[in-house]
Amino acid sequence: MSRKKILHIGDPLLRAVSHPVKKFDLRLAMIVRDMGETMYGADGIGLAAPQIGLMRRLIVIDLYDEEGLRVFVNPDIIKAEGEVSLTEGCLSVPGRRGCVTRPELVTVRYQDIKGNVHELSAEGLLARALQHEIDHLNGVLYVDLMDYEVFEEEEEEEEEEALPQASEA
Superfamily of domain 12-162: Peptide deformylase (3.90.45.10)
List, for residues 86-141, the tens digit of each pLDDT value.
999 999 999 999 999 999 999 999 999 999 999 999 999 999 999 999 999 999 99
pLDDT tens digits, one per residue of 28-59: 999 999 999 999 999 999 999 999 999 999 99
Please state the separation of Cα 2 from the chain's center in Å: 20
| Domain range summary for the chain, segments of one domain joined by + | 12-162
Closest by alpha carbon to 70, among 22, 6, 122? 122
**Does the active-site annotation cover 133?**
yes
Going by C-alpha positions, the residue among 68, 65, 46 that lies closest to residue 134 is: 46
Indicate the pTM of the whole model.
0.89
Cα–Cα distance for residue pair 116/140, rounded to 1 Å: 27
Task: Select which of 66, 88, 133, 160 is catalytic.
Answer: 133
> What is the length of the chain?
169
Which long-range contacts link 100-104 to residues 24+ away (Cβ below 8 Å)?
Answer: 100/142, 100/145, 100/146, 100/147, 101/145, 101/147, 102/127, 102/128, 102/131, 102/145, 103/127, 103/131
